[in-house]
């Protein structure tokens, strides 16, 4: 029971992150009869998209959604006083995993050299490279080993989200909602704005306690 109490947030994030994988699994056919053969099920796509386009869409969307969620954790804490570092770490892991899936799908479809043919591909590739060290240091052991440098390293997430937004803007995808959320998050982080929100939150808490 203690384990569940301490880790329920991490487990919820993990479950939410895993569920869309079943959509992807239903779009591919894995055959072991003649070695390992993986093929796409073309009838699995919808909205006029091919299966490959749908795989691009699903993996890319979930990667940017999780990245936006990670960067919203600090503003959420400022506004509501709720913070769980390990939930944030699990969100970061989900971001990296979905980004890696997105990149692997691209490599299988287009090949590695295609990565350097367009600005949006290069931006996405650099974001992937940044996520690699973030992914492997999202654990308690790395926090203890890196100490203050751990937070400095994790700030690279801001660069990754900026490059990811550039990636989807240049691809003419639905990017505005993510830009708005991230932009509001940065505004809330501004020291003057942050202090006002924290003061307002603390005053509300004190008022509730005095009423009780």
Distance, in Å, from the CA atom of 150 to the CA atom of 117, rounded to the nearest integer, reads 34
CA angle 190, 90, 163 (to 5 degrees): 55
* Residues 31-84 pLDDT 10s: 777 767 777 777 666 666 778 878 888 888 888 888 888 888 888 888 887 776
> Confidence class of residue 212 from pLDDT cuts 50, 70 and 90?
low
Residue owning tokens 């993510």: 178
pLDDT at residue 4 is higher than 60: no
Distance, in Å, from the CA atom of 67 to the CA atom of 164, rounded to the nearest integer, reads 9
pLDDT at residue 85 is higher than 70: no
> Confidence class of residue 16 from pLDDT cuts 50, 70 and 90?
confident
Q: What does the pLDDT read at residue 99?
A: 92
> Confidence class of residue 3 from pLDDT cuts 50, 70 and 90?
low
What predicted TM-score, i.e. pTM, was given to this entire model? 0.82
SS3 assignment, position 38: strand
DSSP state letters, 123-154: HHHHHHHHHHHHHHT-SHHHHHHHTHHHHHHH
How would you label 89-100 residue by residue, b for 16+ Cβ within 10 Å and e otherwise?
A: bbbbbbbbbbbb
39 CB-near residues (< 8 Å, 6+ apart): 28, 29, 31
């Amino acid at each position: 029971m203690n384990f569940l109490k301490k880790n329920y947030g991490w487990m919820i994030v993990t479950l939410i992150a895993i569920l869309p994988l079943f959509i992807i699994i239903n779009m591919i056919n894995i055959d072991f009869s003649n070695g390992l053969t993986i093929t796409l099920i073309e009838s699995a796509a919808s909205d006029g998209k091919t299966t490959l386009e749908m795989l691009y869409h699903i993996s890319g969307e979930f990667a940017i959604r999780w990245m936006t969620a990670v960067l919203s954790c600090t503003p959420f804490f400022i506004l509501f006083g709720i913070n769980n570092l390990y939930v944030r770490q699990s969100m970061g892991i989900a971001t990296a995993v979905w980004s890696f899936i997105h990149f692997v799908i691209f490599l299988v479809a287009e090949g590695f050299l295609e990565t350097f043919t367009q600005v949006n591909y290069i931006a996405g590739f650099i974001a992937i490279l940044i996520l690699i060290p973030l992914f492997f240091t999202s654990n308690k052991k790395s926090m203890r080993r890196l100490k203050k440098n751990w937070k400095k390293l994790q700030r690279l997430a801001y660069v990754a989200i900026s490059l990811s937004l550039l990636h989807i803007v240049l691809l003419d995808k639905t990017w505005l909602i993510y830009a708005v959320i991230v932009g509001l998050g940065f505004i809330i982080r501004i020291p003057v704005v942050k202090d006002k929100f924290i003061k307002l939150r603390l005053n509300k808490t004190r008022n509730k306690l005095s009423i009780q």
